[in-house]
Structure 1
Amino acid sequence: MKNRGIMFALLALVTSPVCAATFSGAPRILDGNTIEIDKTNVRLSGIEAPETDQICLDAKGRKWACGVAARDELIKHSNGRTWDCHTQRVDEYRRALGNCFIEGENVNVWMVRSGWALSAAPSHAVYELAASTAHTGLWSGAFIAPWDWPRRNKGTIIVGAWSVPIDAQEVLLGSVLLSEPPSPECLIKGTVERSGERIYHLPGQASYELIDMTKKRSERWFCSEAEAEATGWRKAVR
């Protein structure tokens, strides 16, 4: 019985998704949450940045592609420098979860402190407070929390600067947001099948023009195939 227990323990250790590792190099930044480094997708833990299809309102109540902006600000901050990422486990999409550093600076913290991500860990809450007080990044206007964006509805709370436009919810929930890509570079269409399978469609594929992006809230735009595949989407067959 004891040997059997040891056998199962060893098997669990070998197949466990929990794995501590360190990855170093200049990453490819897929969005404000996810990078590809040393051929591994790494998800910055303890933060929630907007996905690239997310739209926010600026200080004057105008729509802007805040998800693309968050990614681009991270690219600008990285500036081709080497990252060191320390991971402990993987998430449901098999991305390694952990903290990343650029020349000793914690990138996860930088994203929250600069207002390009929200805190998803108690240790980062003080940086979110500083960003919201200074009205930096997303906090310069009004937005939907990144974790609420994919499931947004009429009950979704709008957060942001001290003065949120009275029509903010109506604007940020409108189907027109889905009808056009958030950026000219983000032309990949993502759809969810009845089976729950998530499929992305490239311009030029036979199915692409048939998809009306305003039909279902679960549909979204992607800027690259790597971004889509990093979060569990599969390329359409045709």
Structure 2
Amino acid sequence: MMVALLAVMTSPACAAKLSDAPRILDGNTIEIEQTKIRLLGIEAPATDQICVDAHGRKWACGVAARDELIKHSKGRTWDCHTTGVDEYRRSLGTCFIEGENVNAWMVRSGWALSSGRSNPNYAIYELVASTADVGLWSGAFIAPWDWRRRNKSTIIVGASSVPINARELLLGSTLLSDPPSPECLIKGTVDRNGERIYHLPGQLSYEQIDITKMPGDRWLCSEAEAEATGWHKAVR
């Protein structure tokens, strides 16, 4: 089954070119012509991720990464070249705005890290961003791929002078007791079967849910974001 899935994910038949002004769901995910696209070769923080700034204060860096991408886009047309899909059935793509590689821009501006081997040049852009202390690198943060599984031994990265309280703030058990932003009020929970379910304010079970208890639980900012990343709406 895994071999078959890998074949589908890397099949040339999945390749396409899409052009339009996108709907930006998070720092990794956009939507063009009802096709959800995961930016290939980079890893931006999820919208619920919290970082620490140079003064030792918590800030919603995942929301900021999304918003900076929205500002950079300015409603302009993107040209995306996709090939394969990920585990959430998002097309994997490299996108351009007027010839500029958006994936590379996210890393160079410090709003994402280089990941995988799809484009080793992204690692160079990451070095540029970290040296300049821009974006996430202006303070301290946890690598996006470590965010969900963080524990007491998780490595904190960031600026050359990491705030002394960064470890306490980023690894504390109550870190996400409150939503990262007033707009991010959807609660995502993972049940015993691994099913990812999101709950809207006003739904019957919403008030009883404590999303700090299970490591996979998180805040989400929109239903579109939730569904693009594999969550399903609660029945009630």
TM range (shorter): over 0.9
SS at 1:177's partner residue? coil
Task: Quote the sequence identity (%).
Answer: 79
1-structure distance, mates of 2:228, 2:167: 30
SS in 1 for 2:107: helix
Structure ID, larger Rg: 1
Question: What is the rounded CA distance, in whole Å, between the counterparts of 2:84 and 2:121 in structure 1?
Answer: 19
Q: Deviations over 1:138-195 (max 9, x none)?
A: 0000000000001111110000001112331221011322110000000000000011
The number of residues matched between the two structures is: 225
Residue identity opposite 1:24 in structure 2: S
Structure 2 unaligned regions, length at least 5: none
What TM-score, normalized by structure 1, do the two folds share? 0.92
> Which residue in the other structure is 2:200 paired with?
202
Moved over 4 A (4+): none
Q: Is 2:218 the counterpart of 1:226?
A: no
- Within 5 Å, give how 1:164-183 maps onto structure 2: 164-183=162-181
Matching of residues 51-200 of structure 1 within 5 Å: 51-120=46-115, 121=117, 122-200=120-198
Give the distance between the partners of 1:98 and 1:217, measured in 2 at CA: 29
* Residues in 1 aligned to 2:17 and 2:127: alpha-carbon distance in whole angstroms: 30
Q: Which residue of structure 1 lines up, in the alignment, with residue 209 of structure 2?
A: 211
The Cα shift of 1:131 comes to 0.3
Q: Deviations over 1:118-146 (max 9, x none)?
A: 01142211100000000000000000000
Post-superposition Cα deviations, 1:9-61, rounded to whole Å, max 9, x if no partner, equal: xxx8xx93431101110100000000011110000000000000000000111
Aligned equivalent of 2:19: 24
Distance in 2 between residues matched to 1:168 and 1:184, nearest whole Å: 23
TM-score (norm 2): 0.93
Q: Is the 8 A contact 2:56 2:164 kept in 1?
A: no
The answer to whether structure 1 residue 50 and structure 2 residue 45 are counterparts is yes
Q: Is the 8 A contact 2:46 2:62 kept in 1?
A: yes
Tell me the alpha carbon deviations over residues 85-118 of structure 1, each in whole angstroms, 9 at most, x when there is no partner: 0001101111000100000000000000000000
- RMSD in angstroms over aligned alpha carbons? 1.2
